[in-house]
Amino acid sequence: MALTATQVSNTITVKVNVQENGTNLALANPTNVSMILSDETGTRYIKKTATVTDASTGEISLTVARDDLVAAGVWSVQVEYTDGTFQGRTEVKEFRVEPNIRSITG
């Protein structure tokens, strides 16, 4: 699974491409698509309905509020979906959330 995470203003969009042996996997009729995000401690857990943005490349995305990923550290992401007779989850991928830099006034 290929992964990108980008922040625009107060939202973060996580995009993944479902892959098999390193090649993007076209999805014929994906349903029940959700993305699961969890911080490294397991105290932050998000599971939301995701959007298939390009079925031909297996691209799935989820936009969350910036504050949803407030915990700095390593996060895990996994996609759960049904496509034809397949019902299951992708492999788990990790990405890093950096702490915010706060200005100090004095």
Q: Which residues contact 51 (CB under 8 A, 6 or more apart)?
A: 33, 60, 61, 62
Residue 33 tokens, joined = 């698509």
pTM listed for this prediction: 0.84
Residues 68, 69, 72, 74, CA torsion sign:
positive
The three-point CA angle 45-22-72 to 5° equals 30
pLDDT in tens, the chain (106 residues): 888 888 887 888 999 999 989 999 999 999 999 999 999 998 889 999 999 999 999 999 999 988 888 888 899 999 999 999 999 999 999 998 887 654 344 4
Structural domains of the chain sorted by starting position, each given as residue range(s) with its CATH number in brackets: 2-97 (2.60.40.10)
